Amino acid sequence: AIVVCAQIDPSLTTPEAIVSAVHREWHVKEVLRTILTPRHPSQLYEAFFEGVILFAILWIVRTRTRQPNGVLAGLFFICYAIFRVVIETFREPDATLIAGFTRGQFFSFFLIAIGVAFLVAAKMRPTFPKRTSGK
């Protein structure tokens, strides 16, 4: 961006000069618009969904219901994979593998299968965790 701006105006050789020129001169903004693409803050999306929301889902299931061993693990794998597939659509794309899926989306399908396996195993042989508190 600095090289392109310096070709327009030789005084635009520092980021500070470019930022101030963007506010003053419309042609600098137009040139920068063609080479700079806005992006989603996908790291914030990941932190929110794979951190806060996933924790809330698991916490609610753990504290409000009594589930057999393996259900929380299965739920974690499935929810994490679903969030990952959705958030990958906002990230800068990497090499695609099959049918236009990114590497992260492709591996997330395996996580969903692992999560389903945990849920099936918990359903077939339900063993419940021992209660440690007076609830």
SS3 96: strand
Q: What is the largest CA-CA distance in the chain?
A: 75
What digits encode the pLDDT tens for the residues 73-82? 999 999 999 9
CA angle 105–107–111, rounded 5-degree value = 105
Model confidence at 83: pLDDT above 90: yes
HSE-CB at 23 with a 13 A cutoff on CA atoms is 5
pLDDT band at 130 (very low <50, low <70, confident <90, very high): confident
Quote the pLDDT of residue 91: 83
pTM for this model (two decimals): 0.70
User: Do the Cβ atoms of 68 and 128 come closer than 8 Å?
Assistant: yes
